[in-house]
């Protein structure tokens, strides 16, 4: 594992990290715009402001690791390597989408890059991650992990606690990542738990636990690297609580009535893209170099939207769909 000063000296790594942050941000801003234009069917859950957790954590994963992402997982799937075109086409419900328009934003994931999940049932991916890790263990594969994301809102789901216990009891290589964005939809964490220190949730299960400022992408990356190394070395699960904030609404139904404009503005000012911009400027990047990443990612996302909109709708008949239900 590299030290912070080594990362700061690695210009290519820093530029790539910013590229991933901006890609996630601009992808979701584009989805928001397309939604406002009435081009996105159904619903979508944006994680604007949470990019540091997605990029920092997923960058620490190896290609062969699995990431079980959340319903708010666009940034996680992008960071694992999926192409924005395939993802945008899915969100626009097209046949060429990564899930052929069968899943949409909420179930978007890409098996080619070992992302699974995008689960609409909160916490349900945690037991599934245990099974993925169990398959590694039973096959004697010790170089990869299953990383599962969930939010502070899911932290009280029985499935999460049952998975913590199973992973610990069976010594499974699972990285549990709680993206603590302060609200479960509109409900603040303090209202629904007696103790808001979620790191304590790892203790009774004997799970090695880490805590990090999720808006600091490098700190998140380093923490995830440390946790991943621990998992591979000990062949045991680990748990990270990553603190962040969702500046976008929960979904299209969100009127932001549960929080103040001042609170949102305060978090926007310390969002991970702005914070990482300062890090880059302090470590040898010029504003123009950063602006170039901005332009490049904007172009990629504009192209993704244009691609998605140009793609055909699925033409499957109900009878065709019935045939898809079962593997033959």
Confirm or reject binding of residue 273 to another protein (CB under 8 A). no
Least distance CB 196 / another protein (angstroms): 25
The per-residue DSSP string of 257-296 comes to TTS-HHHHHHHHHT-HHHHHHHHHHTTT--HHHHHHHHHH
**Contacts to another protein from residues 302-321, by CB under 8 A:** none
The correct pick among 9, 169, 192, 203 for binding another protein (CB under 8 A) is 169
State which residue, 163 or 305, has the beta carbon closest to another protein: 163
State which residue, 14 or 172, has the beta carbon closest to another protein: 172
Please give the helix or strand (H or E) that residue 297 lies within, else none. helix 287-310
Least distance CB 112 / another protein (angstroms): 8
How far is the CA of 113 from the CAs of 33, 40, 55, 67, 80, in angstroms?
27, 24, 15, 9, 6
Confirm or reject binding of residue 291 to another protein (CB under 8 A). no
Confirm or reject binding of residue 130 to another protein (CB under 8 A). yes
Kindly state the number of chain residues that form the binding site for another protein, as judged by CB under 8 A. 42
How far is the CA of 280 from the CAs of 7, 58, 251, in angstroms?
11, 20, 32
The correct pick among 134, 185, 193, 279 for binding another protein (CB under 8 A) is 134
Least distance CB 123 / another protein (angstroms): 9
State which residue, 52 or 97, has the beta carbon closest to another protein: 97
State which residue, 144 or 228, has the beta carbon closest to another protein: 144
149 token code pair: 């994301």
State which residue, 76 or 248, has the beta carbon closest to another protein: 76
User: Can you tell me the distance from the alpha carbon of 292 to that of 316, in angstroms, rounded to the nearest whole number?
Assistant: 42
**Contacts to another protein from residues 84-113, by CB under 8 A:** 97-103, 107, 109, 111
Contact status, residue 237 vs residue 172, Cβ threshold 8 Å: yes
326 token code pair: 């079962």
Sheet holding 174-180, edge to edge: 115-119, 66-70, 146-151, 174-180, 238-243, 208-213
Strands, E assignment, 106-237: 115-119, 146-151, 174-180, 183-184, 187-188, 208-213
Task: List interacting residues with another protein (CB under 8 A).
Answer: 97-103, 107, 109, 111, 116, 119-121, 124, 126-136, 138, 146, 158-159, 162-163, 165-166, 169-170, 322, 324-328
């Amino acid at each position: 594992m590299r030290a912070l000063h080594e990362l700061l000296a690695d210009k290519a790594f820093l530029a790539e990290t910013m590229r991933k942050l901006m890609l996630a941000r601009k992808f979701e801003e584009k989805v928001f715009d397309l939604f406002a234009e009435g081009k996105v069917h159904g619903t979508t859950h944006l994680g604007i402001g949470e990019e540091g957790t997605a990029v920092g954590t997923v960058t620490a994963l190896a290609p062969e690791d699995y990431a079980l992402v959340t319903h708010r997982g666009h940034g996680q799937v992008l960071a694992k390597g999926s192409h924005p075109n395939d993802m945008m086409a899915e969100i626009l419900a097209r046949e060429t989408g990564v899930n052929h328009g069968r899943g949409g934003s909420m179930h978007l994931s890409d098996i080619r890059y070992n992302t699974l999940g995008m689960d609409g049932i909160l916490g349900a991916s945690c037991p599934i991650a245990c099974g993925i890790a169990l398959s590694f263990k039973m096959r004697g594969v010790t170089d990869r992990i299953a990383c599962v994301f969930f939010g502070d809102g899911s932290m009280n789901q029985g499935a999460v606690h049952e998975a913590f216990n199973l992973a610990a009891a069976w010594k499974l290589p699972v990285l549990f990542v709680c993206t603590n964005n302060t609200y479960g939809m509109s409900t603040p964490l303090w209202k629904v738990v007696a103790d808001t220190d979620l790191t304590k949730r790892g203790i009774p299960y004997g799970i090695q636990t880490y805590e990090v400022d999720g808006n600091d992408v490098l700190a998140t990356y380093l923490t995830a690297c440390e946790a991943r190394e621990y998992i591979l070395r000990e062949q045991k699960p680990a748990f990270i609580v990553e603190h962040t904030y969702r500046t976008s609404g929960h979904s299209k139904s969100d009127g932001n009535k549960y929080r103040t404009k001042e609170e949102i503005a305060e978090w926007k000012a310390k969002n991970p893209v702005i914070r990482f911009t300062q890090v880059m400027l302090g470590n040898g990047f010029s504003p123009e170099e950063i602006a170039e990443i901005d332009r490049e990612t904007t172009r990629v996302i504009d192209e993704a939207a244009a691609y998605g909109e140009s793609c055909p709708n699925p033409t499957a008949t109900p009878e065709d769909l019935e045939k898809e239900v079962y593997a033959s």
